[in-house]
Structure 1
Amino acid sequence: MNNESQISFDAQYHNFTIACPIPAFCVGSLREIFFDCFNQTLFHCHHCGVGRTVVLLFFMIVFGFLILVGNSLVILVGFKRWKQEKASRLDFYKTSLAVADAMAGFQALFLMPYNVIWSMNLTPIKLGARWFELKQSPEAFIGGLFLLFGAISSVFHLLCMGTEMAYALIKPLQYRRLSRKSLYTSLLLLWILSIFASAGIAGIPDFLCIYFASAFLFIPAGLLEKSGVLGGTTIYAIPTLSMLALCGVSIAFVRNRRRIGEDDADNSRMSEIMRRQTISILKTVILMQAVFIACTAPSFVVMLVTYFSDLSCEIEGRAYSFAFYITGTNSLYNVLIYSARDKTFREEIIDLISPGYLRRKKAQALRGQLRERQPKGNPLETATA
């Protein structure tokens, strides 16, 4: 590579401290990719290649499809229960959460593959130039805000569900008296707060959204810069600690009630009957929160490592890409948790996929009951005897 190319590289990339404009799956440093593939698109660059791109696209499309379809089924089941007046308060929250989770599926199925295709069809130098063009562009701002809003709304939903379960355990009679109007108000406020929280973060001075080429996402740049790591960890730590606190309160209350019930068998029986279903739902919510914390933990760890160490933008890009992808899979795990924990939900999902399943199952159960009620043996022999 000639001196002109060296000057071009230094002029454009020597200030890169975050978000190298190269895909995370490309092998080699930014400098190596730039010089080895100066006149080649990333599709044809041996550091990246078509094979890796196809594999990434495959997983994006599969996960995006599963997230979008799975959460759409949750929404349909919730709507069906609401229409039949069988929906519980948790069903409403699960349906609303599915809307927030579906946003991640939409991004993985449509937006990210589109970003992969146009990015890989550029040379490294053109992708770098495009990175600068997109910096704080309307496209980047909308994409970053979309990602931020989906994440914040999911966190708020989990917090509200944890609060509901704690209240249902501690004040069961008052909880049963809560009206549907209060539920609709809570859901409306939840979405309004998510909008205001996202807009409030976007309104911070020097708020910047960029195209994160390593993961093919538009994200708030503050998540990657050292100056924004403390803010990012705070945003992560507050809801996480709140969830853990709510779980701790609920578990401690259940254990305390069981300990008291051991001294009074009648109260123990009554308490167990009244709270058995609530405790089962509580286990589901705690499992959802635990999976959420596990999926978001890699991002938290990467933020801390980035803050306390001086890593190259290539390593940071790959680490953040891995963390973001793991976080995104949480939107699919919620559907799997519902399916594993709720037999009725599984049956209603099957009924949506195979119409008439529940009707056939009820008919089969009814025939089984009729057979059990029939007298055993041959009725003619009984009459003769």
Structure 2
Amino acid sequence: MLGNISSPNCTLSSPPFLEEICKLLLMVLLIVAIILGNVVSLLVFLQARQFRTSQGYLKASLALADLAVGLSVVPYSVYREASSLASGTAQESSSCSIPSFPCFITGPIFAGCTFVSITTIFLLSVERSVAVLKPLHKRAVVTKRRTVWLILLTWSLSFSLAVVPMISSPDITLQYSPCSKMCIYAFSAGRPPSSPWNVMLLFPAFDFSLLGGTFAINFITFAAIRQYCKARRGLGSETQPGSRLSFSDITAAKTIGILTFAFSASFGPIAVFVVGSVLGYQWCQFSFYAFWILTSNSCWNVAIYSAWDPKFRQGVRELFSRPVLNTASQHPSHSTEGNSSAPACVAVLKEIFRPEKA
């Protein structure tokens, strides 16, 4: 994400050592939560046959983006902070960004995965809206093959957009910020561009545009669900066959609505920070909370699924009970255990490329 602006006048501060230790422990806990939560989500979506749907593929894409943040972005921040504490340089953190080559990898990954997340939530909202408003046309409009192509397009465009600031202006680079404890886009020291507005505000403009569209789609979807529930209460259990909604459709719409709200709440502080940076403000302490609130969003999805989606909870129970049942019934050889994930991947590919039924 776009960060604070580097300037020649760097202000030094001396954060308490205990505070730095607490921040480092928070980062380590986030790594564990993000990796475990999203690995479980991916296993459930790929192993359980009931999740091999367009919605399931979109949720798997969302989990993969969050997992990439937990495997690359957060560990590098932990490495930098642990190295600083070990060498005793953490007591002299500054508002200046520090040049770092790995930032040219982790920075675009964080920005690209953020774009993937919000775009995927938008696509999930569209998919649920079609399922609620046009249930008879859902199979024809929302197919697995189209969903896979949309996922590939989303990843390509998101990571292309993530590198736009670097290729659009030589005055913008990626540096590690001791304030936010993360790699950020920053202006080169002493070389602020004359008109940074179109580049600096590109990320929040893109995200808020998609969030606005997502909220609008969710509003229409929930209005239709409310109308359906009122009609069902008025007519009893008798409803038109073409307008009947299942409990899973309503639950999925609620889950996606909560995902949208959670991402909006986590993205809000970053948007405020970016706009403040453009206006010339340097909020060192606020930048840490803004970036890491957004990062913590990567481990919320599995908690939201577990709380609101009964099918997901059932998939988790089946996932953890399956090895126990297999061990009790048979003793597979080591060669079979080594290829246990292959049948699931092959089954998913067959589901994707199998012709859709009319």
Higher deviation after alignment, 89-98 or 244-253: 244-253
Q: 1 CA distance for matches of 2:185 and 2:250?
A: 39
Instruction: Report the equivalent of 1:93.
Output: 58
1:144 to 2:69 alignment: no
Instruction: Report the equivalent of 1:164.
Output: 127
Match of 1:221, SS state, is strand
Instruction: Report the equivalent of 2:291.
Output: 324
Residue 81 of structure 2 contacts residue 90 of structure 2 at CA under 8 Å; is this kept in 1? no
Instruction: Report the equivalent of 1:181.
Output: 145
- Cα distance per residue 1:110-141 (max 9 Å; x no partner): 21110102334264899779955x1xx54332
Instruction: Report the equivalent of 1:27.
Output: none
Paired letter, 2:60: T
Change (3 A) 1:249 1:263: same
- Cα distance per residue 1:275-294 (max 9 Å; x no partner): 43212110000010011111
- Cα distance per residue 1:11-49 (max 9 Å; x no partner): xx9724xxx6xxxxxxxxx34x4xxxxxxxxxxxxx335
Paired letter, 2:36: V
- Cα distance per residue 1:206-261 (max 9 Å; x no partner): 33212111122111227xx8745533431332122111111122123333445566
Instruction: Report the equivalent of 2:239.
Output: 268
Change (3 A) 1:340 1:244: same
Change (3 A) 1:139 1:306: closer
Q: 2 CA distance for matches of 1:51 and 1:264?
A: 63
Instruction: Report the equivalent of 1:364.
Output: none
Where in structure 2 are the equivalents of 1:346-357 lying within 5 Å?
Answer: 346-355=313-322
Instruction: Report the equivalent of 1:8.
Output: none
Where in structure 2 are the equivalents of 1:103-118 lying within 5 Å?
Answer: 103-107=68-72, 109-118=74-83
Q: Which has the larger radius of gyration?
A: 1
Change (3 A) 1:86 1:146: closer
Q: 2 CA distance for matches of 1:65 and 1:348?
A: 21
1:324 Cα deviation after fit? 0.7
1:270 Cα deviation after fit? 4.0
Residue 132 of structure 2 contacts residue 245 of structure 2 at CA under 8 Å; is this kept in 1? no
Instruction: Report the equivalent of 1:15.
Output: 8
Instruction: Report the equivalent of 2:162.
Output: 198
Please, which runs of 5 or more residues in structure 2 have no aligned partner? 1-5, 328-358
Match of 1:210, SS state, is strand
RMSD of Structure 2 on Structure 1 (CA): 3.3
Please, which runs of 5 or more residues in structure 1 have no aligned partner? 1-12, 21-29, 34-46, 361-385
Q: 2 CA distance for matches of 1:343 and 1:300?
A: 34
Q: How many residues align?
A: 311
2:221 to 225, 229, 250: 250
Instruction: Report the equivalent of 1:5.
Output: none
Residue 145 of structure 1 contacts residue 219 of structure 1 at CA under 8 Å; is this kept in 2? no
Match of 2:245, SS state, is helix
Match of 2:239, SS state, is helix
Paired letter, 1:185: W
Q: TM-score, normalised by structure 1?
A: 0.70
- Cα distance per residue 1:176-233 (max 9 Å; x no partner): 23433222222222222223322444432233212111122111227xx874553343
1:287 to 2:255 alignment: no
Instruction: Report the equivalent of 2:117.
Output: 154
Q: TM-score, normalised by structure 2?
A: 0.75
Residue 30 of structure 2 contacts residue 296 of structure 2 at CA under 8 Å; is this kept in 1? yes
1:91 Cα deviation after fit? 1.3
Paired letter, 2:130: Y
Q: 2 CA distance for matches of 1:336 and 1:108?
A: 21
- Cα distance per residue 1:114-169 (max 9 Å; x no partner): 0102334264899779955x1xx543322221211111111111111111111112
Residue 60 of structure 1 contacts residue 109 of structure 1 at CA under 8 Å; is this kept in 2? yes
1:337 Cα deviation after fit? 0.4
